[in-house]
Amino acid sequence: MRYFVVIISIFVLSCQPKQENLEIEVIKSTLLNVIDTLYYRESPPKPPRKAFLPDSSVLIVDPQLGIFIDGQLAMSDSLIEADSIERALEQQKWFDSVTLVYKSFDWEQYRIDSVEWLNSLNEPRPKKRIVLLVKDSLISNFSGAMEIVSNRGFEKDFEVKDEDELINKLLDPTLKPILIDFDSFSKIDKYELEPGNYKPVSGERAVATLTLSRVIFNSEKTKAAYYYQENCGFLCGYGFVVFAELTSNGWQILGKNMVWLS
């Protein structure tokens, strides 16, 4: 009888999902609502580049006499500082180079390219694989991102309030990162997930890089929270704390609180 009880106990324990599997389950269930489907729509081809003529006055810099704009003295030598002269000379150099490009621009080729571009807008484009690059671990050290909440004024726009217990657990310094198993976490709806060091190939669009934290739970395992960071380009990114709740339909997103924005 004792052996029978031991066997039953082992069977029950083996059926319980591992902690990391439960964390991935929460992320899988809520991530699409966090990312949205904005990236599904592919941007149209970029139009051909067109030369432009700077809308600027004629600038003449004479270190002895001063700075002249359209022949009129704008600043005498007694008021000119070295950095002012340097900036003015750089501006003049830029103006001259752009003007030279404008004068030598191939306008006939631009007309041909423009017609081709307009025609391409009406042509069906092949569907590309939409790739999200994901850092290969559920991280634990992101306290720096959380610390800026108090001085950025985001609190007034928080969708979820009074979850200090979850926040404190999320910032627990003893949490250890865990590796993401991309064999079981490889797709979210139309998004294909690849490790952060993945190099997209022809026929793929890498639309953003995601960083995800460990998922923490309340003691009843009915509420969860995790940190989500999205980098979508130069000076483009934001971070959220995502809150979820276990319902009869599985894990559902409760809301997300923004903690930074670029």
Of the residues 120, 140, 165, the one at which a domain ends: 120
Residue 89 and residue 138 share a domain: no
Q: How many domains does the chain have?
A: 2
Q: Is residue 27 one of the residues assigned to a domain?
A: no
Residue 226 and residue 136 share a domain: yes
pLDDT of residue 14: 42
Residue 218 and residue 157 share a domain: yes
Residue 88 and residue 141 share a domain: no
Residue 87 to residue 92: CA distance in whole angstroms: 9
Beta strands in 5-141, from DSSP E residues, in sequence order: 59-62, 66-69, 72-76, 129-134, 137-138
| Number of Cβ atoms within 10 Å of the Cβ of 166 | 19
Cβ pair 258, 157 in contact under 8 A: yes
Element housing 233 (H / E):
strand 223-233
Of the residues 98, 120, 142, the one at which a domain ends: 120
Q: Is residue 177 one of the residues assigned to a domain?
A: yes
Q: Is residue 77 one of the residues assigned to a domain?
A: yes
Show the tokens assigned to 157: 């726009």
Residue 138 and residue 95 share a domain: no
User: What is the model's pTM?
Assistant: 0.66
Residue 128 to residue 114: CA distance in whole angstroms: 24
Q: Is residue 12 one of the residues assigned to a domain?
A: no
pLDDT of residue 82: 59
Domain range spanning residue 191?
127-261
Residue 174 and residue 83 share a domain: no
Q: Is residue 38 one of the residues assigned to a domain?
A: no
pLDDT of residue 10: 39
Cβ pair 239, 250 in contact under 8 A: no
Burial class (CB in 10 A: 0-12, 13-18, 19+), 24: buried
Instruction: Mark the ranges of the chain whose per-residue pLDDT is less than 70.
Output: 1-18, 54-85, 142-162
pLDDT in tens, 97-110: 878 888 888 989 99
Residue 171 and residue 253 share a domain: yes
